[in-house]
């Protein structure tokens, strides 16, 4: 996995073309590419806005930090316009992310540290699943099936030819 620094030392953000899927607390799946949260059983799916998904991704990717500073989150979300963004905008996005997670049984994924930022709850497991590996495995299975089908067809054809002659 390659990371690119997003103009902020100590913070990482995934390159835009690499989308990951995360399992949160063993019962919730967050898919960056689809902007959705869902239960492992697929019984409930929550579609997120691109901005909420980007914020959740940033929080997850920086969960290793002691505190994720509000200014770093704001810069990650709004870039150079972050200086003009009202603090209430970020507060609202964080509220909506919390609400979505709570609807799927995830309480307190992150807590607010007043006037500083966020701290991710280390008691909640976040596991990144490798979408690229899944895609590669599917490709290998397809190629194997194609090769076996070819071998089977040639063998069957040869047997039929020998049986006829």
Residue pLDDT, tens place only, 94-114: 999 999 999 999 999 999 999
Q: Which residue bears the tokens 């059983």?
A: 41
Spatial distance between the Cα atoms of 23 and 28, rounded to a whole number of angstroms: 6
Considering the entire predicted model, what is its pTM? 0.70
For residue 76, which of 96, 103, 52, 98 has the smallest C-alpha distance?
52
Q: What angle do CA 102, 1, 77 make, to 5 degrees?
A: 50
51-60, 84-93, 118-127, 135-144: lowest mean pLDDT where?
Answer: 135-144
pLDDT of residue 160: 83
CB 93 within 8 A of CB 101: no
Q: Grade residue 6 by pLDDT with cuts at 50, 70 and 90.
A: very low
pLDDT at 47 over 60: yes
CA dist., res. 98 & res. 122, Å (int)? 16
């Amino acid at each position: 996995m390659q990371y690119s620094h997003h103009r902020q030392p100590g913070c990482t953000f995934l390159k835009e073309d690499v989308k990951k899927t995360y399992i949160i607390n063993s019962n919730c799946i967050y898919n960056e590419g689809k902007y959705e949260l869902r239960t492992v059983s697929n019984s409930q799916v929550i579609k997120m806005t691109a901005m909420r998904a980007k914020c959740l991704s940033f929080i997850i990717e920086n969960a290793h930090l002691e505190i994720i500073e509000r200014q770093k989150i704001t810069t990650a979300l709004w870039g150079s316009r972050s200086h003009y963004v009202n603090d209430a905008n970020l507060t609202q996005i964080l509220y909506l992310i919390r609400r979505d997670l709570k609807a799927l049984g995830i309480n307190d994924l992150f807590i607010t540290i007043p006037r500083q930022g966020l701290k991710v709850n280390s008691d909640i497991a976040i596991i990144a699943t490798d979408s690229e590996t899944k895609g590669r495995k599917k490709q290998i299975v397809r190629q194997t099936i194609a090769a076996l089908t070819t071998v089977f067809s040639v063998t069957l054809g040869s047997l039929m030819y020998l049986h006829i002659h």
